[in-house]
Amino acid sequence: MNVTWACLLLFGGLVILWKSADWLVDGAVGLAQRLGVSPLVIGLTIVAMGTSAPEVAASIAAAVKGVGNVAIGNVYGSNIANLALVGGLAALIRPIRIQLRTLMREMPVMIVVALLLWPVLVNNYLSRAEGFVLLGIFAGLILLTIYTARKEAEDTQSEAASGKREVKRSVLYVVIGLAGLALGADMVVRGAVFIGERVGLSKAVIGLTIVAIGTSLPELVTCVVAAIRGQHDISIGNLVGSNVFNTLLVVGTAGVVRPFGDIAARLAGGVDYGIMIVVSGVFVLVAAIGRRIGRAKGTMLLLGYIGYMVYLLAYTAGV
């Protein structure tokens, strides 16, 4: 591959991402309506899991190659990008309204699972047993969400009983959208990583920046499209759900596939871990104030992310 092909991959992937996100939002909203559940539940589960697929693939690939710092850095960088970059951009396009349920339940869960990583990684090693524990917690949360969704569907059974053809169409849109997002993100990451290696960035920084942003592109374009259409629950459900999936599913799967040690101190409870926790807390705080993330708050989140990128590239590019 040369730089020209890398640029073609990058821009071609972006085009595919945008159209795929369009289909995904269409399918997700239609599925929520036909199944009688809220768009928030669909955003927290199907959309979040699908848009987190690139993080899972990238971290598993890094773990198999024994590059644990890229796997963990990808998770931290993606979580920070989801809340500060994606959340900020979505709020700039259209202010995001937050349900009280999200503030009281889903967002605290996001913070708690992020805090769980500290005792797991503080010894600079991720064991297979710890990976299984994280996956077990993830499975428990999914089962709880499914139970809640079923209760919600029972309350709107009359709405959910009609339109089987429309359900199939919505599922098809979701599947095509998710597949396109995965393809587009892979194209973007391949091109961007090639360019990053050419300019001499370290593996940890590539994981925290290029790979993290690239694998967050499905969340980014999905939330932007959802924001343009005023689908706030899809946006916020995707962001919160993706961070929970990244923390538990991605890290847990990477540890189960191949346990790894020598995790960089900055990732094992150090500065980058601390920044992820701070960004998560700030996001919850700005969401709680008025239960709305407006353009001013979105700008603040974006400026915070730009500051983090400056810190990474200007002061730690060789670390």
d(CA 68, CA 264): 9
pLDDT digits (tens, 9 = 90+) for 30-49: 777 777 777 778 888 778 87
The stretch 283-309 carries a mean pLDDT of 91
Residue 106 has pLDDT above 90, yes or no: no
Percent of the chain surpassing pLDDT 90: 18
Percent of the chain surpassing pLDDT 70: 86
Q: Residue 278 has what pLDDT?
A: 94
Confidence band, pLDDT 50/70/90 cuts, at residue 76: confident
**Mean pLDDT, rounded, of the chain:** 80
pLDDT digits (tens, 9 = 90+) for 162-202: 456 677 788 888 888 878 877 877 777 777 777 777 777 76
The stretch 110-117 carries a mean pLDDT of 92
Q: Which of residues 165 and 97 earns the better pLDDT score?
A: 97
Q: Residue 4 has what pLDDT?
A: 78
Helices (H), the chain: 3-35, 39-42, 48-51, 53-64, 68-80, 87-93, 100-101, 107-121, 128-155, 157-160, 164-198, 203-206, 212-215, 217-228, 232-245, 251-257, 271-288, 295-315
Query: Please, which contacts does 161-167 make with residues 24 or more away whose CB atoms are closer than 8 Å?
Result: 162/34, 163/34, 166/30, 166/34, 167/30, 167/31, 167/34, 167/35
pLDDT digits (tens, 9 = 90+) for 224-256: 888 887 888 888 888 898 899 888 988 888 888
Least trusted range by pLDDT, from 62-71, 130-139, 198-207: 198-207
In sequence order, what are the beta bridge partners of 307?
none
The stretch 2-25 carries a mean pLDDT of 77
Q: Are 120 and 130 in contact (CB under 8 A)?
A: yes
d(CA 169, CA 26): 10
Look-up: residue for tokens 């077990």? 136
pLDDT digits (tens, 9 = 90+) for 61-75: 777 777 677 778 878
Residue 215 has pLDDT above 50, yes or no: yes
Q: Residue 62 has what pLDDT?
A: 73
Dihedral over Cα of 73, 43, 27, 151: its sign: positive
In sequence order, what are the beta bridge partners of 293?
96
Contacts of 188 (CB under 8 A, 6+ apart): 9, 10, 13, 14, 17, 214, 217
Confidence band, pLDDT 50/70/90 cuts, at residue 160: very low
What pTM does this model have?
A: 0.78
Residue 298 has pLDDT above 80, yes or no: yes
d(CA 74, CA 77): 5
Residue 105 has pLDDT above 80, yes or no: yes
Q: Which of residues 115 and 205 earns the better pLDDT score?
A: 115
The number of residues in the chain equals: 319
Look-up: residue for tokens 């200007």? 314
Q: Which of residues 59 and 5 earns the better pLDDT score?
A: 5
Parallel/antiparallel/unpaired status of strands 292-293 and 96-97: antiparallel
**CATH numeric code, 3-315:** 1.20.1420.30
pLDDT digits (tens, 9 = 90+) for 269-287: 788 889 999 999 999 999 9
d(CA 306, CA 304): 5
Residue 156 has pLDDT above 60, yes or no: no
Q: Which helix (H) or strand (E) holds 292?
A: strand 292-293
In sequence order, what are the beta bridge partners of 96?
293
